[in-house]
Amino acid sequence: MLVRAEGNPKLASKVSEAIIDFSFHPVIGEKFASQYLINRIHTLCATTGKQNVKGLIQQLELLYKFITSFGLKTTGPLEPVNIFETIQISLVHKDQGVRKISSKILFEIHSKTGFVDTELLRDLPKNIRDALLKKLKEVKVEKSSDFEPRQQTDNSAEKLQLNENLKDWGER
C-alpha cells in the first residue's frame, strides 16, 4: 500500500493518516506502526533511484510526526539510537529536501535528549558534520527525566555499540 502511494501526494497523505490511525489502535499500537515506518525508511535509503526521493521525504516527515506525537522512548523503534541509525544515511543524501527533514529530526532528538555530539556524528563527511554541529549549538536541550544529556567525553558501551551498528549499516 505504501509503495504505491510514494510520489502521489494525495494518496500518500491518506496512507500516512492510516498509519497514524493504526498507531492509536489498541492491538496494533504505536510501536508496531513506528517499526514499520522505520523499516520502510531503511528500504528507501537503500535504493538510490530518483523516484524514491518523494517517498523518502514523505516517510521522514511521518517519522518526525511520530516523534512529536508519541515522544522519544527509552526502548523500541522511537529510541534515539534507533532513530539516528535510521536517518544517518539520509543526512548525506544528495537531495536537499531529504537532508532538511533528516536534520530536523536530528535537532528534535537533540532538543529532547542532548544525545547528539561530535562522536556520534564522526562517520559523516566533515563538511556536513561541521554544519550540523554548528546548528546543534543553537538548539536548546530540554530537561527530561527519561533522558540524560550526554557529555562530550562519554565513552559508554551503548555508544560503542551504536558506532558498531552504524558501521554495519554502512556496509549494507
User: pLDDT tens digits, residue range 41-81?
Assistant: 888 887 765 557 888 898 899 999 999 988 888 888 889 98
DSSP code, position 50: G
Number of H helices, E strands in the chain: 8, 0
Range of the domain at 95: 2-171
Which residue would you say has higher pLDDT here, 42 or 5? 42
Of 17, 16, 19, residue with least CA distance to 28: 19
CA distance 5 to 103: 24
- Ranking 39-43, 88-92, 99-103, 137-141 by mean pLDDT, the lowest is 39-43
Residues 134-152: tens digit of each pLDDT: 999 999 888 665 665 444 4
Amino acid at 128: I
Instruction: Indicate if the alpha-carbon torsion angle 168, 48, 85, 100 is positive or negative.
Output: positive
Give the number of domains in the chain: 1
Residue 9 in 3-state DSSP?
A: helix
CB atoms within 10 A of CB 13: 12
Q: What is the mean pLDDT of the chain?
A: 78
